[in-house]
Amino acid sequence: QAEHQGNTLRVAQQLEELTGLESRMTILGHLQRGGTPSAGDRLLATRLGAAAADFIHDGVYGVMIASRGEGAEAVPLEDVVGKRKLVPIDHAWVRTARDIGVCLGDR
């Protein structure tokens, strides 16, 4: 990722030199996820990554790693491929998202 940031920075600098206008870089992945990763994001990623490494070490393949409570579990891909788990439209997560101005594309 640092390599891509360096490339992005070079492009921004070249744009500034060519246009004489200020140019800022944005790492789109962070923006799409809602901003710079928080401590909670980093802890979740570490927990899921460590669980994935443990499953690989134990020879468990063909699974996705799911967060369950304080732990993580392996879920066979055939249990999830082609299926959807929808969040009810009146769920607290949906209400909170709307309250802070998130557009969910249905209005």
Q: pLDDT per residue over 57-107, tens digit each?
A: 999 999 999 998 888 999 999 999 999 888 899 999 999 989 988 888 887
Q: Indicate the pTM of the whole model.
A: 0.55
* Res. 42: pLDDT tops 80: yes
- Is residue 31 domain-shared with residue 44, that is, in the same domain? no
- Is residue 92 domain-shared with residue 58, that is, in the same domain? yes
Q: Label residue 33 by pLDDT band (50, 70, 90).
A: low
Give the Å distances, CA to CA, from 57 to 23, 60, 77. Answer: 45, 8, 18
Give the Å distances, CA to CA, from 101 to 26, 36, 64, 92. Answer: 21, 18, 31, 14
- DSSP bridge pairs for 63: 76
pLDDT in tens, 2-30: 555 677 888 889 989 999 989 887 766 66
- Is residue 55 domain-shared with residue 77, that is, in the same domain? yes
- Is residue 60 domain-shared with residue 87, that is, in the same domain? yes
Q: Which domain holds residue 53?
A: 39-107
Residues 6 or more apart whose Cβ sits within 8 Å of residue 34: none
Q: Label residue 31 by pLDDT band (50, 70, 90).
A: low
- Is residue 50 domain-shared with residue 101, that is, in the same domain? yes
- Is residue 63 domain-shared with residue 30, that is, in the same domain? no
